[in-house]
Structure 1
Amino acid sequence: MLAFLIEHPTEGLILYETGAGENYPEIVGAPVQDVFSRVDYDKSMNLDEQIALTGHKIEDVKMVIIGHLHLDHSGGLEHFRGKNVPVYVHELELKYAFYSVATKTDLGVYMPHYLTFDINWVPVHGSYYEIASGLNLHLSPGHTPGLMIMQVNLKNSGTWIFTSDQYHVKENFEDDVPQGWLARDHAAWVQSHQMIKGLKRRTNAKVVLGHCWDTVRALGLEFAPKAYD
């Protein structure tokens, strides 16, 4: 479960996704843990403690971008309740997540403890949004209706693409293997996959997948505070 901190020259600290939040095993419960295998968790993995390893405090974060609102990518939003920090999420994802919790139609992957009205939600509209200089968001539906990948253009290390859960493991991306039942819309997933493949080809980007430990190790991202510029 990954989160990425960006030191932007004009916007300050920007956080892309938040991980699962504190007390993750207790919050999700045994059924979810059993489906996805049990998760090793300790307090040092909490978002605030990981950010502290970079020399910052979680209170320094000026903006949060959410790829999608599943609990393992957005549970850490509990730290931003009542803080007025803008949390950018695609309008389609925001609507679907709140509907799912309210109607219990997709409860278990969306959780009510961070889908609350005291978070400063800022909806993103359309298929593309340049949220800051060098930071571009692309709507990539399939896994969820409003998933957004993030393209980051860095001076020295080039372009990076953070895919959230458009891809869980490298076989999804490298071998064109769809997500199966993990995708809410297979046809939309294929279209998003083609868009991302083209984006990588044009920019020669490094691609960071949602849960792939092999990819994380290959890019040298195992431990905070690893940084690229």
Structure 2
Amino acid sequence: MHSELVQLLGEFLGTFVLILLGNGVVSGVVLKKTKATGAGWVAITLGWGFAVMMGVYVSGFMSPAHLNPAVTIAMAMIGSFSWSLVIPYIIAQMLGAMVASFILYLMYLPHYEVTENPADILGTFSTGPAIKHTFSNVVSEVVGTALLVAAILSFSQYAVTKTTGFSPLLVGAIITAIGLSLGATTGYALNPARDLGPRIMHAILPIKNKGNSDWSYAWIPVVGPIVGGTLGAVLYHAAIQFVTK
């Protein structure tokens, strides 16, 4: 039981750091009158890559550092993770994301006060498509998350990642690569907790000019990553089973 609680703490803290730094860079770039206002997409993608890397480093000695329900479900699907821990892990990840969102709200409060565009405000919490097109938006999230999970599984094939603490750097690198190359269509949620937890906080918090939380879109960054993560894990696992026979 103690071990399970430590794992849940790891997932909570790792996801907290991931969102604090990831949505932190978005807030700095998008909200008005910060020192980073207008820094652009490259700053956001680099910031998110470092955010995920640091989240994994913070939590990796306590838990598997999934920090993402899509990863947790994918690992359970291929038998690498216990189904009994899936729901507790997801709850810990969601709570970490929500607490981080609240801290960011407090930090950026005066900047929310002077930001008038509701879409910009929502973008500091959750993702949204550049162009709403349900099929393409779902495909973007499926493909991005499939690549993420397959890459994470592939890293474990190299001995250097197991002994030197190098793996989080590679995870940060694949997140940055996905953001730069594939993320411009939907904002690359890749993670249901990353999107849904902060979106719930957006709906709850008393933010001036915030508008609605775009619940009509909210299912895509939840379902897309879960489908994509499972697809990536199953296909990669099948490929490894084939080549090692």
TM-score (norm 1): 0.26
TM-score (norm 2): 0.25
Bigger fraction of residues in helix: 2
Tell me which structure has the larger Cα radius of gyration. 2
Bigger fraction of residues in strand: 1
